[in-house]
């Protein structure tokens, strides 16, 4: 499908192409749905192979942010920005200042911050051009690194999912495979290790995998071997589309629960997991911790309040699993049912005339 066909099919409001000659910025800002409020979503920096890959990623990720915000109780819509560049070599002050100018031009309709390939400190440069940036370092007035609270929420979500699969949320002696040990995966490993889990880990960076494994007494396997590990939980914490026709038959886990966005290569793969008796924690539910922190920052950040909200991911997943059982549908569909009902109800409220 073309751009407008995909936007219509997925319900997007805007897709903005941003280019700055001086800084060599090539970026997109996708705004999916603003029923609940202004669009909130991070900025991904990635060396996409094709232009089409960049705008498709922006559309897919921004839709996920709408659902994530609605499910987590945040009164914000869904958006995402992507920078088409290599985060290892292309970061400059001018680049992030230019991005800030494009964000500022939207006058608060879109708010952004860190995501894959970017760090909170990168957006200190953007702050010079716009106030519509969150999760910058605390010394610059932000709430700081969102990866820690994201890992906290994923830990809570894994416990809820283990309870659904095994009848108890105890992780003592449970085996968990962590795919990806970046900003979130490394923190998650510590939470799980402290809770009694036995870990199997992998990462594309062998040195990072060895370092994290040494701290949490984990067994390191190859990036392809992780799918075949005999574990209770498979936790994807790198890039998306890792749950697909090739990997699902290889999984030995009873639970799939991790921080990666867009884990299912296609929606039908959620059904495939369900039919195999594998409990799947919908990604936009379980990885909402970072969004919760960013949204709380916009209200005047309170760390204890943000962590209490992130702990609610456990309860949200319990509600989704209950809907799944009651309606006899996969958890991936049950999550959409819950979110779309909230959007429908809020949309009706917005249609009411209120005198000013």
Domain range list for the chain? 3-68+75-140, 147-288+314-337
Query: CA-to-CA distance for 233 and 226, rounded, in angstroms?
Result: 11
Please count the other Cβ atoms lying within 10 Å of the Cβ belonging to residue 260. 23
The CA-CA-CA angle for residues 290, 259, 230, to 5°, reads: 155
pLDDT of 343: 85
Query: CA-to-CA distance for 285 and 316, rounded, in angstroms?
Result: 7
pLDDT of 58: 96
Indicate if the pLDDT at residue 346 is higher than 90.
no
pLDDT digits (tens, 9 = 90+) for 251-276: 999 999 999 989 999 999 999 999 99
Among the residue ranges 60-64, 72-76, 241-245, the one predicted with the least confidence is 72-76
User: Could you tell me if 33 and 107 are in contact, meaning their C-beta atoms sit under 8 angstroms apart?
Assistant: no
Indicate if the pLDDT at residue 73 is higher than 90.
no
Indicate if the pLDDT at residue 356 is higher than 60.
no
* Residues classed as catalytic: 80
3-state DSSP assignment of residue 254: coil
Question: Chain centroid to CA 109: how far?
Answer: 20
Q: Which CATH superfamily is domain 147-288+314-337 in?
A: NAD(P)-binding Rossmann-like Domain (3.40.50.720)
By residue count, the chain amounts to: 356
**80: nearest Cα among 301, 285, 347, 284:** 284
In this prediction, residue 350 has a pLDDT band, given cuts at 50, 70 and 90, of low
pLDDT digits (tens, 9 = 90+) for 199-211: 999 999 999 999 9
Residue 310, C-beta contacts closer than 8 angstroms, at least 6 positions apart: 149, 152, 153, 156, 288, 289, 292, 293
**274: nearest Cα among 254, 257, 295:** 254
Q: Do domains 3-68+75-140 and 147-288+314-337 have the same CATH topology?
A: yes
Q: What kind of fold does domain 3-68+75-140 have according to CATH?
A: Rossmann fold (3.40.50)
pLDDT digits (tens, 9 = 90+) for 331-343: 999 999 998 888 8
Query: CA-to-CA distance for 29 and 15, rounded, in angstroms?
Result: 6
Mean pLDDT across 33-56: 95
Mean pLDDT across 234-262: 96
User: Could you tell me if 199 and 192 are in contact, meaning their C-beta atoms sit under 8 angstroms apart?
Assistant: yes
3-state DSSP assignment of residue 86: coil
Query: CA-to-CA distance for 44 and 52, rounded, in angstroms?
Result: 15
pLDDT digits (tens, 9 = 90+) for 282-341: 999 999 999 999 999 998 999 999 999 999 999 999 999 999 999 999 999 999 999 888
Query: CA-to-CA distance for 66 and 222, rounded, in angstroms?
Result: 34
């Amino acid at each position: 499908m073309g751009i407008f066909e995909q936007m219509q099919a997925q319900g997007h409001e805007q897709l903005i192409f941003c280019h700055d000659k001086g800084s060599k910025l090539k970026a997109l800002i996708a705004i999916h749905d603003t029923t609940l409020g202004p669009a909130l979503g991070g900025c991904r920096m990635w060396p996409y192979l094709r232009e089409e890959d960049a705008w498709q990623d922006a559309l897919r990720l921004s839709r996920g942010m709408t659902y994530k915000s609605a499910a987590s109780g945040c009164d914000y819509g869904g958006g995402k920005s992507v920078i088409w560049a290599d985060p290892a070599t292309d970061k400059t002050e001018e680049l992030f200042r230019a991005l800030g100018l494009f964000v500022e031009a939207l006058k608060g309709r879109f708010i952004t911050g860190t995501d894959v390939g970017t760090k909170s400190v990168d957006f200190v440069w953007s702050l010079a051009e716009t106030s519509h940036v969150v999760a910058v370092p605390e010394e610059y007035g932000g709430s700081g690194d969102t990866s820690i609270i994201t890992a906290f929420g994923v830990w809570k979500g894994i416990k809820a999912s283990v309870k659904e699969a095994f009848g108890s949320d105890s992780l003592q002696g449970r085996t968990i495979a962590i795919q990806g040990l970046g900003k979130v995966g490394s923190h998650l490993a510590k939470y799980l290790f402290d809770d009694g889990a036995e870990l199997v880990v992998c990462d594309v960076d062998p040195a990072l995998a060895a370092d994290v494994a040494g701290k949490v007494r984990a067994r390191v396997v190859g990036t392809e071997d992780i799918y075949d590990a005999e574990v209770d939980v498979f936790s994807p914490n790198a890039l998306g589309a890792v749950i697909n026709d090739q990997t699902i038959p290889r999984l030995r886990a009873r639970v799939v629960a991790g921080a990666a966005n867009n884990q299912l290569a296609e929606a039908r793969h959620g059904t495939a997991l369900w039919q195999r008796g594998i409990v799947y924690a919908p990604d936009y539910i379980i990885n909402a911790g970072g969004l919760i922190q960013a949204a709380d920052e916009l209200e005047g950040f309170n760390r204890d309040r943000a962590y209490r909200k992130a702990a609610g991911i456990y309860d949200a997943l319990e509600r989704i699993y209950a809907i799944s059982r009651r309606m006899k549908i996969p958890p991936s569909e049950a999550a959409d049912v819950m979110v779309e009902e909230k959007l429908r109800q809020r949309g009706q409220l917005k249609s009411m005339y209120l005198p000013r």
